[in-house]
Amino acid sequence: MAEQILPTLKPLPIKDRVSVVYVERGNLDVLDGAFVVVDKTGVRTHLPVGGVACLMLEPGTRVSHAAVVLAARVGCLLVWIGEAGVRMYAVGQPGGARADRLLYQAKLALDDTTRLKVVRKMYALRFREEPPERRSVEQLRGIEGVRVRKMYELLARQHGVTWKARNIRSGPAATGTVFPAGAGMNREFAVLVLTPASVPRRRGDEPEEWLCREFVAECSPQARG
């Protein structure tokens, strides 16, 4: 058997990649063996897709079959988003659609003991201190909610902003008083949630389960905007 001269190529780890590249108004294709974006004038822009974790495809982007195949082969996640990343419409799955991480995630979520361990770890990472002992998941959610609301109030005082709550209105939608700060926070959340949701998907996790419903905050998949 002939000795292998070159090592088997493997996708770069996430930590060694560019996190996110946004693409709009262009055609993604593979030409002459290279992953390129072609604009309306025919100009090619090469993308080192093997060194990118996620490609965010904004409106006006078209993708060829060859481009999707190459992105999946090198482990680059394709995410179809709205303008400026406000919404996420669809997402691919690189790496041959492996389910081992998703199955491990489900195992942690379905066992009460391991689920509580994950919640406590996420609490410690968020607040940089250990959570109170002998607290359930629901109790930790309540503590987290109180701390976050207090943080909103503190930041509002520091910046001279009138703060009521994250509610957009104080009464019925048609007649209630509008809270600009609360409305702004909701819109900012819709924009910013896209990036942290893309990281678990690139790893093969499910962000709606991992980040929201099963472990920390109760929220719906529509929270992405």
CATH number where 57 lies: 3.100.10.20
> Do 152 and 133 reside in the same domain of the chain?
yes
Domain annotation covers residue 9: no
Q: In whole angstroms, give the CA distance from residue 91 to residue 221.
A: 14
Domain annotation covers residue 139: yes
Which pLDDT score, from 0 to 100, does residue 158 have?
A: 93
Residue scoring higher pLDDT (189 or 4): 189
> Do 104 and 202 reside in the same domain of the chain?
yes
Structure letter (DSSP) for residue 6:
S
Domain annotation covers residue 147: yes
Q: What are phi and psi of 222, to 5 degrees?
A: -70, -5
Longest dimension (CA), the chain: 80
Strands 44-46 and 52-57, sheet pairing: unpaired
Range of the domain at 132: 100-224
Burial class (CB in 10 A: 0-12, 13-18, 19+), 26: buried
Check: CB of residue 219 under 8 Å from CB of residue 213: yes
> Do 121 and 78 reside in the same domain of the chain?
no
Q: How many structural domains comprise the chain?
A: 2
Domain annotation covers residue 1: no
> Do 213 and 140 reside in the same domain of the chain?
yes
Domain annotation covers residue 2: no
* pLDDT tens per residue, range 49-83: 889 988 999 999 999 999 999 998 888 889 898 88
**Domain-terminating residue out of 32, 67, 91:** 91
Burial class (CB in 10 A: 0-12, 13-18, 19+), 86: middle
> Do 54 and 108 reside in the same domain of the chain?
no
Which pLDDT score, from 0 to 100, does residue 212 have?
A: 45
Which pLDDT score, from 0 to 100, does residue 54 have?
A: 87
Q: What is the mean pLDDT of residues 93-112?
A: 77
* pLDDT tens per residue, range 121-175: 989 998 999 999 999 989 998 998 899 889 888 988 999 887 777 665 555 554 5
Which pLDDT score, from 0 to 100, does residue 225 have?
A: 38
> Do 208 and 147 reside in the same domain of the chain?
yes
> Do 166 and 209 reside in the same domain of the chain?
yes
* pLDDT tens per residue, range 7-42: 666 778 878 888 889 999 999 999 988 899 999 899
Domain annotation covers residue 170: yes
**Domain-terminating residue out of 91, 111, 143:** 91
> Do 196 and 123 reside in the same domain of the chain?
yes
* pLDDT tens per residue, range 188-205: 776 666 666 666 776 667
Domain annotation covers residue 119: yes
Edge-to-edge strand list for the sheet holding 88-91: 18-23, 52-57, 77-81, 88-91
**Torsional sign, CA 16, 20, 26, 29:** positive
**Domain-terminating residue out of 72, 91, 110:** 91
> Do 76 and 34 reside in the same domain of the chain?
yes
> Do 87 and 142 reside in the same domain of the chain?
no
Check: CB of residue 212 under 8 Å from CB of residue 219: yes
Strand, coil or helix: 31: strand
> Do 71 and 172 reside in the same domain of the chain?
no
Q: Between vectors from CA 83 to CA 186 and to CA 55, what angle results, nearest 5°? A: 105
> Do 110 and 219 reside in the same domain of the chain?
yes
**Alpha helical stretches, state H, 83-127:** 100-110, 112-127
Amino acid at 211: L
